[in-house]
Amino acid sequence: MQRILTITLNPTIDCTTGVPELIPRRKLRCEAATFHPGGGGVNVSRVIKELGGETTAMVAVAGHSGQFFRGLILDAGIDAVFLEARGMTRQSFAVHEGVSGHQFRLLFPGPAQDAAFGDRALAMLGDLLAADAYPYVVASGSLLPGLSEDFYRGVADLAKRHGSRLILDTSGPALEAALGHGAYLLKPDFLEAQALAAALGLRDDDPEPLARLILDKGGAEIVIITLGPDGALLATKDEFVRIRPPKVEMVSRVGAGDSFIGALSFALAADWPLEKACAYGVAAAAAAVTTEASELAYKADIDRLYAGIELVSRAPQNHSAAK
């Protein structure tokens, strides 16, 4: 098993609670809160650990809440290296409203950083990659305010220089800036892929031309577009595969994408074939939607759902040649 390095610049203390009804102006007495260490890469590390894999999380923490966050990581038993940032590590709230059954997710931007922070983060990453071999690096989640949108481009360049494969789960300008910089795998969801394609001049409601365009732009060797309840499209220059999860009862979508990346990277680091690794990701994401709020996927559920995955494979259409 090979150790996977995850990167989280904007972690969050995930606070989950419930309230009978959200009513304006009243004091709302909530249920006792539960706390988890969250943020894209941290969640990915939690899932890798749940599956028995080896992972180190590089996490930026800030201020007093950053100390609390370190304690949560310690409690979760995740090996981590910390980078000090300015301000305070953020919290996020997931509030379940009893009367409607709805879940409200309240997210904050995270503390603003000065220009030097990005360079410090890249220097730390360079040191980590120089000190140990990490065949896979996972960068996931939002960037801190003030950080250049080019940041993941720097991560992609460093990963390439050290012979690590970069799995990147981000969106918007940060995703666009990373195109053409040698990322191994990109995992936008459908809306993120549509937005990226629109920025590149293509509007389409079908995930296949979107994936084809991202591959053509040198986005990555592998593009996986996740499609919510419809699973995922795995696209490489050689094959397009649709992977559908079995039907599950949806409890909370929190962490579906991160559970996907966690199981996918676990399986790739264990040298599974790509299609099976992607199917394992689909199973983990389906398992994650059956758990409450910031709870992620459990191994027993992932393995059970993996058995019910459907794969439909075919050669890719050449989008430009079809015109």
**Interacting residues toward ligand ATP by CB under 6 A:** 189, 226-229, 231-232, 245, 248, 250, 253, 255-258, 260, 282, 285-286, 289
φ, ψ of residue 168 to 5 degrees: the values are -120, 125
Q: What is the DSSP string of 248-299?
A: ---S--TTHHHHHHHHHHHHHHTT--HHHHHHHHHHHHHHHHTS-TT----H
- CA 123 to chain centroid, in Å, comes to 22
With CB cut-offs between 5 and 8 Å by kind, which of ligand ATP, Mg ion, none does residue 250 bind? ligand ATP
Q: Is 206 one of the catalytic residues?
A: no
Amino acid at 78: I
Segment contacting Mg ion by CB under 5 A, of 22-30, 55-63, 256-264, 270-278 = 256-264
Q: What is the DSSP string of 174-204?
A: HHHHHTTS--SEE--BHHHHHHHHHHTT---
Pick 7 or 227: Cβ nearer ligand ATP: 227
Taking the complex as a whole, the smallest distance from the CB of residue 190 to ligand ATP amounts, in Å, to 6
Q: How far apart are CA 102 and CA 252, in angstroms?
A: 9
Taking the complex as a whole, the smallest distance from the CB of residue 67 to Mg ion amounts, in Å, to 28
Pick 82 or 190: Cβ nearer Mg ion: 190
Taking the complex as a whole, the smallest distance from the CB of residue 317 to ligand ATP amounts, in Å, to 22
Q: How far apart are CA 240 and CA 233, in angstroms?
A: 7
With CB cut-offs between 5 and 8 Å by kind, which of Mg ion, ligand ATP, none does residue 251 bind? none
Pick 66 or 257: Cβ nearer Mg ion: 257
Name the residue with the smallest CB distance to Mg ion: 257
DSSP 24: T
Taking the complex as a whole, the smallest distance from the CB of residue 52 to ligand ATP amounts, in Å, to 21
With CB cut-offs between 5 and 8 Å by kind, which of ligand ATP, Mg ion, none does residue 66 bind? none
Pick 74 or 199: Cβ nearer Mg ion: 199
Helix intervals (H) in 76-189: 115-131, 151-161, 172-178
From the list 14, 169, 189, 258, the catalytic residue is 258
With CB cut-offs between 5 and 8 Å by kind, which of Mg ion, ligand ATP, none does residue 182 bind? none
With CB cut-offs between 5 and 8 Å by kind, which of Mg ion, ligand ATP, none does residue 218 bind? none
Please name which of 89, 183, 94, 191 lies closest in space to residue 140, comparing C-alpha atoms. Answer: 183
Segment contacting Mg ion by CB under 5 A, of 2-10, 16-24, 138-146, 252-260 = 252-260
Q: How far apart are CA 155 and CA 118, in angstroms?
A: 10
* 121-140 binders of Mg ion (CB under 5 A): none
Figure out which of the listed residues 37, 39, 66, 257 binds Mg ion, where binding follows CB under 5 A.
257
- CA 158 to chain centroid, in Å, comes to 19
11 is a contact residue toward Mg ion (CB under 5 A): no
- For tokens 């360049």, the residue is 157
Q: How far apart are CA 105 and CA 17, in angstroms?
A: 11
Token output for 70: 């370190």
Pick 135 or 172: Cβ nearer Mg ion: 172
Taking the complex as a whole, the smallest distance from the CB of residue 120 to ligand ATP amounts, in Å, to 27
Neighbours of 29 (CB within 10 A): 7
Q: How far apart are CA 119 and CA 154, in angstroms?
A: 9
Taking the complex as a whole, the smallest distance from the CB of residue 227 to Mg ion amounts, in Å, to 12
Strands 222-226 and 310-314: unpaired
Pick 129 or 224: Cβ nearer Mg ion: 224
125 neighbors 7 (Cβ within 8 angstroms): yes
Catalytic residues: 258
Residue ranges binding Mg ion (CB under 5 A): 257
